[in-house]
């Protein structure tokens, strides 16, 4: 009962952030919601900063059916302010809502809230250790990771990271947790997930932005190089964006690609189910063979405009989903391609789509 009360209070807080003042009745889960999600994927739309209008959508690629506002339908509440990331695990869909300072754990078949971690500073991403007994939440404006139990959805503590200013995307490999320190930094931290002791911290390019692990136990990292607003440590300067590979066993880090100075990564890294091809958006959609580690002569998909800044790869079908925010003030669109880069279909979603989570993950 206490957990339910806390969840309902948090939903009420999300409403407040969305400039609403709902009654107590409106804060209760929507028991009449009958929508069931049994496959396909979820699309997270960030919404406008400060407006509390982020949203969660579902898409069924077989029927091409689009379901809007999954969270609102199931819970009679707004999702909150700035939908940051999604993480699918053990029948749950974790939704990180950055500016609202909350992580929701949803039943992935109904969208109903089953638990939450709130009162967070600046939550960004979720990672769960190999045993399934410990979860981590990264935070951009503090070097403190928040820990929780994925089985009970209870907050269990925190881990202070030394030598970095914040934490961003995370990757689990065995009993190690790799943590990128993105904003105003240039380091990767490695944590022992059994003890939460910091094993090491090493340098890569400026502002490591995103990471994925390939089939060869190689960690791939894109670094955006910083910008004129970055407050970098003394002696560290803005540089060209770069792609790095890191041996997960030895931590040996090698730069494999340098991009044009001032260039802009419009998506985080994606990887296919086989773990042999990297994907990202950099003026076009690129597919990189992990054995090569460099851009091919031609992009996989040519794109127009500047709104595309999210990418997702279905691990089974290897279909490619591109989130297009268009003009950033109206509803966005998702474009679905096959693995050869041929357009299959498109569908409309909410404001600023950026992240995907697949049932097949």
DSSP string for residues in 49-64? TTTT--EEEEEETTTT
pLDDT digits (tens, 9 = 90+) for 2-58: 344 344 445 544 444 443 333 333 334 445 555 789 899 999 999 999 999 999 999
pTM attached to this predicted model: 0.90
Helices (H) and strands (E) in the chain, counts: 2, 27
Question: Going by C-beta distance under 8 Å and a sequence separation of 6 or more, which residues neighbour residue 318?
Answer: 272, 273, 274, 338, 339
Band of pLDDT at residue 64, cut at 50, 70 and 90: very high
- Residue recorded with tokens 């579902």: 58
Whether residue 301 is predicted with pLDDT greater than 90 in this model: the reply is yes
Q: Which residues pair with 13 in a beta bridge?
A: none
* Edge-to-edge order in the sheet of strand 55-60: 65-67, 55-60, 41-45, 353-358
**DSSP summary character for residue 37:** -
Q: What is the DSSP annotation of 231-276? A: -PPTT------EEEEEETTT--EEEEEE--TT----S--EE-TTS-
DSSP code of residue 233:
P
Question: For residue 32, what pLDDT is reported?
Answer: 53
- As a whole number, mean pLDDT of residues 315-326 equals 97
Q: Where are the domains of the chain?
A: 120-263
Cross-sheet strand order for the sheet of 285-289: 270-271, 277-281, 285-289
Give pLDDT tens digits for 207-221: 999 999 999 999 999
Which of 31-40, 234-243, 318-327 is predicted most confidently? 318-327
Least confident of 125-134, 223-232, 286-295: 223-232
Q: Tell me whether residue 59 is exposed, middle or buried, using C-beta atoms within 10 angstroms of its C-beta: 0 to 12, 13 to 18, 19 or more.
A: buried
Angle, alpha carbons 183-352-286 (nearest 5°) = 70
pLDDT tens digits, residue range 262-292?
Answer: 888 889 999 999 999 999 999 999 999 999 9
- Show the tokens assigned to 355: 């992240």
How far is the first Cα of the chain from the last one, in angstroms, to the nearest whole number?
32
**250: exposed, middle or buried (C-beta count within 10 Å: 0-12, 13-18, 19+)?**
exposed
Q: What is the dihedral of CA 200, 203, 204, 208, to 10 degrees?
A: 70
* pLDDT for residue 229: 84
What 3-state DSSP class applies to 221? strand
Q: Which of 314, 320, 319, 318 is nearest to 360 (CA)?
A: 314
Q: Does CATH place domain 120-263 in 2.130.10.10?
A: yes
pLDDT score recorded for residue 357? 98
Share of the chain above pLDDT 90, in %: 80
Write the pLDDT tens digit of every residue in 339-349. Answer: 999 999 999 99
- Calculate the CA dihedral of residues 44, 220, 134, 115 and round it to 10 degrees: 0
- Range 296-300, long-range pairs (CB < 8 A, 24+ positions): 300/341
Rounded to whole angstroms, how far apart are CA atoms 320 and 305? Answer: 18
Task: Give pLDDT tens digits for 135-159.
Answer: 999 999 999 999 999 999 999 999 9
Q: Where are the alpha helices (DSSP H) in the chain?
A: 2-17, 70-75
Average pLDDT over residues 108-125: 96
Q: What is the pLDDT of residue 4?
A: 40
If you average pLDDT over residues 335-341, what whole number do you get?
Answer: 97
Residue 230: pLDDT band by 50, 70, 90 thresholds? confident
- Provide the pairing of β-strand 353-358 with 41-45: antiparallel
pLDDT of residue 296: 94
> Which residues are 213's β-sheet partners?
219
Say what the pLDDT of residue 153 is. Answer: 96
Contacts of 79 (CB under 8 A, 6+ apart): 14, 47, 54, 55, 56, 71, 72, 95, 97, 104
pLDDT tens digits for range 240-264: 999 999 999 999 999 999 998 888 8
User: Given pLDDT bands bounded at 50, 70 and 90, which one contains residue 181?
Assistant: very high
> Apex CA 123: angle with CA 166 and CA 27, to 5°?
165
């Amino acid at each position: 009962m206490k957990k339910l009360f806390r969840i309902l209070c948090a939903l009420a807080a999300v409403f407040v952030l969305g400039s609403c003042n709902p009654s107590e009745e409106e804060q209760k889960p929507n028991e009449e919601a009958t929508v069931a999600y049994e496959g396909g994927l979820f699309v997270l739309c960030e919404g406008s900063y400060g407006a509390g209008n982020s949203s969660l959508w579902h898409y069924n690629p077989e029927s091409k059916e689009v379901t809007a506002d999954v969270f609102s339908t199931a819970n009679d509440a707004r999702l909150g302010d700035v939908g940051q990331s999604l993480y699918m695990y053990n029948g749950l869909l974790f939704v990180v809502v950055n500016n609202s300072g909350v992580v929701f754990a949803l039943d992935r078949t109904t969208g109903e809230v089953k638990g939450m971690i709130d009162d967070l500073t600046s939550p960004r991403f979720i990672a769960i250790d190999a045993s399934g007994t410990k979860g981590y939440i990264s935070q951009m404006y503090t070097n403190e990771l928040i820990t929780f139990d994925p089985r009970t959805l209870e907050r269990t503590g925190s881990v202070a990271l030394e030598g970095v200013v914040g934490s961003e995307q995370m990757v689990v490999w065995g009993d190690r947790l790799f943590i990128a320190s993105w904003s105003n930094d240039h380091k990767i931290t490695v944590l022992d997930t059994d003890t939460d002791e910091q094993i090491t911290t090493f340098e890569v390019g400026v502002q490591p932005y995103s990471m994925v692990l390939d089939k060869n136990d190689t960690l791939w990292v894109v670094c955006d190089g910083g910008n004129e607003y970055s407050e970098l440590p003394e002696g560290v300067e803005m540089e060209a964006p770069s792609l790095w590979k890191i041996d997960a066993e030895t931590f040996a880090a090698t730069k494999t690609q340098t991009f044009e100075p001032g260039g802009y990564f419009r998506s985080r890294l994606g990887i296919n189910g086989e773990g042999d091809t990297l994907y990202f958006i950099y003026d076009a959609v690129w597919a990189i063979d992990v054995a090569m580690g460099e851009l091919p002569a031609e992009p996989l998909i040519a794109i127009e405009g500047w709104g595309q800044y999210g990418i997702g790869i279905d691990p089974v079908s290897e279909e490619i989903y591109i989130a297009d925010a268009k003009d950033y003030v109206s509803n966005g669109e998702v474009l679905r391609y096959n693995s050869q880069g041929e357009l299959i279909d498109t569908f409309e979603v909410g404001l600023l789509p950026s992240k995907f989570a697949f049932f097949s993950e």
